[in-house]
Structure 1
Amino acid sequence: MRFTRGLKDGLPIALGYVPVAFAYAIRAVDQGFPLWFPILVSGTNFTGTGQFAGTNLIAAGAGIAVLLFTMLVINIRYALMSVSISLKLDGHFPLWKRMIVALGVTDENYAVAMRQPKKLNFPYLMGLMGCSYAGWLGGTALGAGLSALLSAVLSGDAAAYYDMIMSAFNVSLYAMFVAIILPPARDDGRVLLLIGMSIAGSCLFYFVPVLHSLPSGVDIIVVSIVCTAVVSLLFPRKEEESGQDAPENQKADSAPSDDKGGGQ
């Protein structure tokens, strides 16, 4: 799997990130932060929900302990994703490469990476994650750069229309998720069941007052763990499915090479 393939797979994610990152930068500057602040946060965090929540807490004067706990709750799901994606790596991943990959793990990158039929190599992941990271950072920089102009030009009803436009842009992320999950759901009933259970669980957390009052991010963690555990127990993957890459890799390793010093 090549770097260019990763770029191609990451381009739709990057395009979906741009309006969300743009909106984040606008909101951060509107809360009184300097123009460089949202760019710095996006460059070092790369987590949409966490950045929105963290910036809101800082603007509200929350303490460090509250900020750290909130970030832990919201972003702990990435630890689960990182463990899952590490099982799909091709084995040529020293610690420094794993640390770079860990920074690029997002919901969308994880979904695309786990859909790949073969083991994941470093060039592919750098293309995938680098492209989406560029979209996120570029969207933030664009939003920060235009925030002063937009705040000066837009006022009153115009500002309300602007908020509506940005909300419409945010729908692009949901559309991208639909495009990611539909193909595997069409081919595998287990994936379709998992999607249905996840939707039902998310609705419970949204409509049940007690569950809705829990900190942001708890719903994602609980629904992810419970739904995947139930589906895994009811419909465990057969050994030949989970190891479907092994025969191909073994053949590649055992096949005689005709190269005489040439590159790949």
Structure 2
Amino acid sequence: MKRKDFVQGSKDSLAIVIGYFSVSFTFGIVAAQAGITPAVATFMSLTNVTSAGQFAGLNLIFAQSSYFEMILTQLIINLRYGLMSLSLSQHLDQNANTLKRLAIAFANTDEIFAVSVSRPGKVSSSYMAGLEIWPVISWAAGTFFGAFANNLLPAAVSSALGIALYGMFVAIVMPVARERKSVAGAAVFAAVLSLAFHYLPVLKNVSSGFSIIICTVAASAVAALFFPIPEDDGGDA
């Protein structure tokens, strides 16, 4: 392992580490409110490393959804990680063998992908190790402390932290939605469709798992249909 690259990756991961701890702390609180023990909640974070997928999973656990709904929901929500890992694999140096690539893909999140591909040239597996190890540890540690602290915090504080993730998603989507009509249109359509599944007599009988799946696929299809990304003419991909 190249020590210099590992140290640089560790430095570049600092902002991600801080952000992950705060979000996973909230996940730990919500998991504890669902009756999940701190140990199990921490194991979930350590083996998943996906905020949207884990929170969606908690909603399905709340609703006592089937395993099929859980699997299909996680597949759709986390499908982007497979695409990002394929893209990142083209950015790794030649010393990254198959085993290292699998390990890198396991912890390849949105933020880690953005940092790694923004670096000029190829990145080493040592750099990726430094970039990924600390965020994963922070994600698991934040979950544990959040689940453990749930019984110690006042009910008002726990409830407030329980909606922090939704505030984070709004903060992520809004700046992009202001610049791109496609993102704004997809977000509004998904929100309206979600409300329909919650309030309309027939649709509200659909389980939460399948409603998440339908809203995700439908919003993506509408965005692709009405706001297609134009292909480059002649240039390299």
Determine if the TM-score, normalized by the shorter chain, exceeds 0.5: yes
Match of 2:9 in 1: 6
What is the aligned counterpart of 1:218 among 202, 213, 216? Answer: 216
Listed as ranges, the gaps of 5+ residues in structure 2 are: 198-210
Q: 1:122 to 1:221 in 2, by over 3 A?
A: farther
Look up the SS of the partner of 2:151 in the other structure. Answer: helix
| Cα distance per residue 1:7-49 (max 9 Å; x no partner) | 1111101111111101111111111112211101001111111
Q: How many angstroms does 1:220 deviate by?
A: 10
Q: How many angstroms does 1:145 deviate by?
A: 2.3
Question: 1:70 is aligned with what amino acid?
Answer: T
1:1-264 equivalences under 5 Å are 2-150=5-153, 154=154, 159-164=155-160, 167=163, 196-209=180-193, 215=212, 218=216, 222=220, 226=224, 230-231=228-229, 233=231, 235=232, 238-239=235-236
Match of 2:202 in 1: none
Question: 1:205–1:212: 8 Å Cα contact kept in structure 2?
Answer: no
Which moved further from structure 2: 141-150 or 43-52?
A: 141-150
Match of 2:205 in 1: none
Listed as ranges, the gaps of 5+ residues in structure 1 are: 183-191, 243-264
Distance (whole Å) between structure 1 residues aligned to residue 85 and residue 116 of structure 2: 11
Distance (whole Å) between structure 2 residues aligned to residue 51 and residue 19 of structure 1: 15
Question: 1:73–1:215: 8 Å Cα contact kept in structure 2?
Answer: no
Distance (whole Å) between structure 1 residues aligned to residue 219 and residue 89 of structure 2: 19
| Cα distance per residue 1:221-246 (max 9 Å; x no partner) | 938x949x95461x46845xx7xxxx
Which moved further from structure 2: 213-222 or 90-99?
A: 213-222
Distance (whole Å) between structure 2 residues aligned to residue 117 and residue 236 of structure 1: 25
Report the structure number with the largest CA radius of gyration: 1
Question: 2:29–2:158: 8 Å Cα contact kept in structure 1?
Answer: no
Q: 1:118 to 1:146 in 2, by over 3 A?
A: same
Give TM-score, length-normalised by structure 2: 0.76
Question: 2:29–2:147: 8 Å Cα contact kept in structure 1?
Answer: yes
Cα RMSD over matched residues? 3.4
Structure 1 ranges of 4+ moved more than 4 A: 165-175, 210-214, 229-232, 235-239
Which moved further from structure 2: 64-73 or 195-204?
A: 195-204
Distance (whole Å) between structure 1 residues aligned to residue 116 and residue 95 of structure 2: 17
Look up the SS of the partner of 2:116 in the other structure. Answer: helix
**What is the aligned-residue identity percentage?**
32
Question: 2:30–2:147: 8 Å Cα contact kept in structure 1?
Answer: no
Aligned length: 217
Distance (whole Å) between structure 2 residues aligned to residue 220 and residue 40 of structure 1: 32
Question: 1:4–1:127: 8 Å Cα contact kept in structure 2?
Answer: yes
| Cα distance per residue 1:42-88 (max 9 Å; x no partner) | 01111111111112222332221111111111111111111111111
